[in-house]
Amino acid sequence: MKREPNKFEEAGQVLLQEINETGDEPTTQKRSLWSAIAIPVLAILTGLIIGAVLVAATSTSVYEAFEHSFGEGLRTIFIEVFTAYKALFTGSIGDPAKISNALGSGDDRLIRAAFNPFLESLVQATPYIFAGLAVALGFRSGLFNIGVEGQLFIGAACATYVGYAITGLPFIIHMPLAFLAGALGGALWGFIPGLLKATTGGHEVINTIMMNYIAFRLTEWLLSGAMTRPGSGGMPISPLIQESAQIPQFFQSPIRFHLGFFIALGVAWLVWWLLFKTKWGLNLRTVGANPRAAKYAGLSIGKSYAIAMAISGALAGMAGGVQILAVNRSMALGLSSGYGFDSIALALIGNNHPLGVVLTSILFGTLRNGATRMMVVSKIPVDIVDVMQAIILMFVAAPAIIRSLYRLRKPKQEEETAFVSGWGGGQS
């Protein structure tokens, strides 16, 4: 006789299903943990290997060594790659030797310096979490938000303005206010292409990209005009924000680890709750998965798109806000190191699930942080991380490549993530 599964089991299955389920993918019943994470893990591994090839191929000393002898060449490749990746590791996680020395010495400053790499990775991960959530929420709602970068800039500008221009507020009001201003600015910037899609069918992919460029010009104009720092001599940089608007850092220099990381985790939970536990989330996901059925079920597709883009933009704006209020404390043009495109990659690698986004963000933050150290040690441009991210994304999007590389078995159901196609504007 078939045993009736009890309620807890079912609730658990719902959760598992949500984690496994991508926007379009019909989920098979249960997947083991390994098969759920095999593809991303192997994709990351392969990305690192290809990164190593790039390191070796662009190193002059490797070529010199090969001229000497083949064995010498191989040895140099190993040394070059090892040095680079060791720098990547110690720069992002920490140097075990340094940590034990510091702990032994008992010197506060040494201990802080030893633990800084790991905590700095979390600092780097924080804006990724917000930006990744922005993209993931968009995908779940049937939207491809390539405009995170622009929304982040506008959000940062708004947070900065509220941060320095308003004075005399207590911390407990000023900081949240500035942060929310960032969210609001991003929301507005996301809402515009959302509204355009809803009313005219203009495709959000092109419109959000255009909004990115407009945002860059706008902030450039603001920073060299209305928002410029007195005495900066025309340099596009804003005044420092008030102390009351700052998101507090937990430790002394050089550790920049701040409250924003926990705000990010809280927002990630909130997004999960919104998407999977509330009727609003089901609204968004229904429109995302099948707009025609959503219309049939009585939902307004246009409204859903506009709202989803606004929320997505708000999350992106928070990424900008948190970076200003907790780390930079003033706004300059070099605010973003390409969070916009990175967040697309990390949302997809994280399966558009808030938990996946948080984990992938920490990974990306770690990579980005370690790459800085790698640049110092091995003179390898930080942009190698972008290359690696593109490759990881490629493998995650085309699991068949990874499977054939590593001779994995095919799952029963072909995974696919089909969110947007054509230019029809998604309304039929």
Partner 1 sequence: MAPILELKGITKQFPGVLANDHIDLALNKGEILALLGENGAGKSTLMNILYGLYQPDEGDIFINDEKIVINSPTDAIDAGIGMVHQHFMLIPVFTVVENIMLGQESVKFGDFLDRADASKKILEISEQFNLPVNPNDLVRDIPVGIQQKVEIIKLLYRQAEILIFDEPTAVLTPQEADELFDIMRSLAKQGKSIIFITHKLREVLEVADRIMVIRLGAVVGETTPQQADKNSLAAMMVGREVSLVVEKETKVPGDIVVSIRDLLVTDKYQNIVVDHVSLDVRAGEVVGIAGVQGNGQTELVEAITGLRKSAGGQVTLMGRDITHATPRKITELGSAHVPEDRQMDGLVLPFPTAENLVLCTYYKKPFSKGAVLQYQIILEHAKRLIHDFDIRTPSALTPVSNLSGGNQQKVIIARELSRPIQFLMASQPTRGLDVGSIEYIHKRLVQKRDEGCAVLLVSPELDEVMELSDRIAVMFRGKILAIVDSQLVTKEQVGLMMTGEIPEEGFHANENRVVERTF
Partner 2 sequence: MTTRSQIIQRKKIYEIPPTRKLFLGIVELLIALVILLGFVINTEPNTLTRFVMTPGGIDIGKMPDWVIPTLPTLIILTIIPALIGLYQLVRGFGRATNGMVGLSALCLIFGFITWQASGTSVNLAGMFTSAVLLAVPITLGAFSGVLSERAGVVNIAIEGMMLMGSMIGSLIGSITNNAWIGLVGAILSGLLLSLIHAILSIKYKINQVISGTVINIFSAGMTAFISQKYLQTNQALNSPPLFTRIPIPGLAKIPLLGPMFFNTNVFVYLTFILLIVIQVALFSTRWGLRLRSVGEHPRAADTLGIDVIRTRYEAVLLSGIVAGLAGGFFTLGSVGRFNEGMTAGKGFIGLAAMIFGNWRPLGAMGAGLIFGFADAIGSKLLLLGSAIPPQIMAMAPYLITMIVLAGFIGKGDAPAADGEPYEKE
x/- map, 16-55, partner 2, by CB under 8 A? --------------------------------------x-
3-state secondary structure of 249: strand
- Compute the half-sphere exposure of residue 378: CA atoms within 13 Å on the CB side of its CA: 31
301 lines the binding site for partner 1 (CB under 8 A): no
Taking the complex as a whole, the smallest distance from the CB of residue 195 to partner 1 amounts, in Å, to 19
Q: Which stretch binds partner 2 (CB under 8 A): 6-14, 156-164, 175-183, 387-395?
A: 387-395
Give 351's contacts (C-beta < 8 A, 6+ positions apart): 19, 20, 22, 40
Q: Which stretch binds partner 1 (CB under 8 A): 199-207, 296-304, 323-331, 350-358?
A: 296-304
3-state secondary structure of 207: helix
| CA separation, residue 112 to residues 116, 239, 294 (Å) | 6, 29, 53
x/- map, 19-38, partner 1, by CB under 8 A? --x-xxxxx-x---------
| Contacted by 89, from partner 2, partner 1, none: CB < 5 to 8 Å by type | none
384 lines the binding site for partner 2 (CB under 8 A): yes
Q: Which of residues 59-78 bind partner 1 (CB under 8 A)?
A: none
Tokens 């207590």 belong to residue: 170
Nearer to partner 2, 105 or 413 (CB): 413
As given in the structure block, the two tokens for residue 20 are: 């496994």
107 residue type, one letter: D
CA-closest candidate to residue 186, choices 338, 310, 327, 326: 310
296 lines the binding site for partner 2 (CB under 8 A): no
386 lines the binding site for partner 2 (CB under 8 A): yes
Nearer to partner 1, 21 or 342 (CB): 21
x/- map, 220-259, partner 2, by CB under 8 A? xx--xx----------------------------------
Taking the complex as a whole, the smallest distance from the CB of residue 370 to partner 2 amounts, in Å, to 16
Nearer to partner 1, 98 or 295 (CB): 295
- Which segments of 141-203 does DSSP mark as H helices, in order? 148-165, 171-200
Give 69's contacts (C-beta < 8 A, 6+ positions apart): none
Cα distance between residue 318 and residue 358, in whole Å: 15
| Contacted by 54, from partner 1, partner 2, none: CB < 5 to 8 Å by type | partner 2
Given a contact cutoff of 8 angstroms between Cβ atoms, the answer to whether 128 and 346 are in contact is yes
Give 66's contacts (C-beta < 8 A, 6+ positions apart): 72, 73, 76
Taking the complex as a whole, the smallest distance from the CB of residue 13 to partner 2 amounts, in Å, to 28
201 lines the binding site for partner 1 (CB under 8 A): no
As given in the structure block, the two tokens for residue 103 are: 């702990």
Contact pick of 221, 262, 296, 406 for partner 1 (by CB under 8 A): 296
Q: What is the DSSP letter of 258?
A: B
Given a contact cutoff of 8 angstroms between Cβ atoms, the answer to whether 125 and 357 are in contact is no
Tokens 């959503």 belong to residue: 294
User: How does 245-260 read in b/e, with b if 16+ C-beta sit within 10 Å?
Assistant: bbbebeeeeebbbbbb
Tokens 């989920």 belong to residue: 27
Nearer to partner 2, 11 or 293 (CB): 293
Q: Which stretch binds partner 1 (CB under 8 A): 83-91, 154-162, 167-175, 281-289?
A: 281-289
In angstroms, how far is the first alpha carbon of the chain from the final one? 47
Nearer to partner 1, 17 or 228 (CB): 17
Residues β-bridged to residue 258? 249
> Which residues of the shown chain bind partner 2 in the complex (CB under 8 A)?
54, 58, 144, 146, 196, 199-203, 205-207, 209-214, 217-218, 220-221, 224-225, 338, 341-342, 344-345, 348, 379-381, 383-391, 393-394, 397-398, 400-401, 416-425, 427
> Which residues of the shown chain bind partner 1 in the complex (CB under 8 A)?
5, 7, 10-11, 13-14, 17, 21, 23-27, 29, 277-280, 282-283, 285-286, 289-290, 292-300
